[in-house]
Amino acid sequence: MACGAGALAGLVGRCPAIESLRCEIRKIGPSDSRVHVFGETGTGKERVARALHELSPRASRPFVPLNAAGIGDELLPSELFGCAKGAYTGAAVTRDGYIAAAEGGTLFIDEVAELTPLAQARLLRFLQEGEYQRLGETVVRKANVRVVSATNVDLPRRVAEGRFREDLWFRLKVHCLVVPPLRERGSDVMLLARHFLAAEARTAGVETPRLSSEAEEALLAYAWRGNVRELEHEMQRLVVRAVPGREVSREDLSADIGQAPRSGGTLKAALQRAESEILVSMLEKHEGRQARAAAELGITRQALWAKLRRLGVWPSEPV
C-alpha cells in the first residue's frame, strides 16, 4: 500500500468524511472509470483528482488540469482538441490541445458546469466516440484519456433546470465523490494548520511557528468560506510574519479570522462529527448497504442518504 499512501498524502485529515473519501478513492482510483468530484471552492478537488490518477495504471502518464470556466465556444475547439497551422487568424503553428497533452493519462476538467451549451455538446461527442479532430483538419484522431470532472455547484439541479445536458451528466458521473467543506471537518482544521505551517517553514528554511491556545480557538471558530485553500494561505502568511521564539497570538491572525467568536461554533462541529462517526460505523457494519443501515438506525433510506450527502460522509447514490 505504499503507492496508495503516497497518492493520498495530499488529503490530510482524520474526520470520518475524509476517511470515507480516501476509502472511495482507493476503490475507484485503479479503475478506468470517469469520476465527478463535487466540493465547494478551495476544498481540494484537484488533489482528489490527482490521487485518482496516481492510483491508476495511468500514473506514469500526464495529469492535465483544465479550468472550463475560461473556455467559451470559440476557444474550446482549439484549446481542447488543438489546431492546425492557419486554422484561424493567429494560428501560426500546429498546436496540440489538452486532450493530446493528456494522452494515456488523465484530463481533469474543473468547473465543468460553466461550459456553454455548445461546449457541452462538443465535449459529449468526444466522450461518446473517444475521437476528435484538430481545428482546421479533417483527420480523425483517437484518444486514450481518462476524464475526471469537478464542480462546486449542484449539477443535478442544473440538469433539472435545463442548464446542463443530462446526457453529458450521465457520461461524467460514472462515480461521484464529495469533498466536505472545512467548516464540517472539526479538529481537522488544526491538523491541517500544523501541516501547512510545517511545510511552509521547511520551504522557507525557518523554525515552525507555534500557535497559542487563543489562536487555535480562533482558527476553530472561523467559518473558512475559502476552505482548505484559505487556511493554507493563512498559514503561509503566518510563517512570513512570525517572530522567532514567540507563539502566534490571535492578534497575529488576519483580521477576519482573529475576530472570530471566542466561543461557540465548536458545538455544531462536535455534533456533526458525532453524527458522521455513527453513520460511518453503521455503513461499515452493513458493508455499505444503506437500506440495512437505515433500518437499524430507524430512519428511511432516503433520510439516511440525505444525511450522508449533507455531511459529505458517503459519496454514492442511494442503494
Residue 215 pLDDT > 60: yes
Average pLDDT value for residue range 28-55: 96
The answer to which of 98-102, 123-127, 294-298 has the lowest mean pLDDT is: 294-298
Q: Which CATH number fits domain 183-258: 1.10.8.60, 3.40.50.2300, 3.50.50.60, 3.40.47.10?
A: 1.10.8.60
Tell me the percentage of the chain whose pLDDT exceeds 70. Answer: 88
Q: Classify the phi-psi angles of 162: left when phi > 0, otherwise alpha if psi is within -120 to 50, otherwise beta.
A: left
Residues of the chain with CATH 3.40.50.300: 2-178
C-alpha span between 18 and 68 (Å, rounded): 26
What's the CATH class of domain 267-311?
mainly alpha
pTM of the model: 0.77
C-alpha span between 204 and 210 (Å, rounded): 16
Residue 166 pLDDT > 80: yes
* 2-178 fold: Rossmann fold (3.40.50)
Using CA atoms, how far residue 160 sits from 34, 175, 211, 260, 306, in Å, is 22, 19, 47, 38, 18
Residue 160: all three cell numbers together: 433539472
pLDDT, tens digit, 9 for 90 and up, residues 16-28: 889 999 999 999 9
Average pLDDT value for residue range 160-182: 95
Q: Give the model's pLDDT for residue 87.
A: 59
Using CA atoms, how far residue 26 sits from 21, 194, 207, in Å, is 9, 25, 35
pLDDT, tens digit, 9 for 90 and up, residues 58-95: 999 999 999 988 777 777 777 888 877 755 666 657 67
Residues of the chain with CATH 1.10.8.60: 183-258
C-alpha span between 128 and 304 (Å, rounded): 34
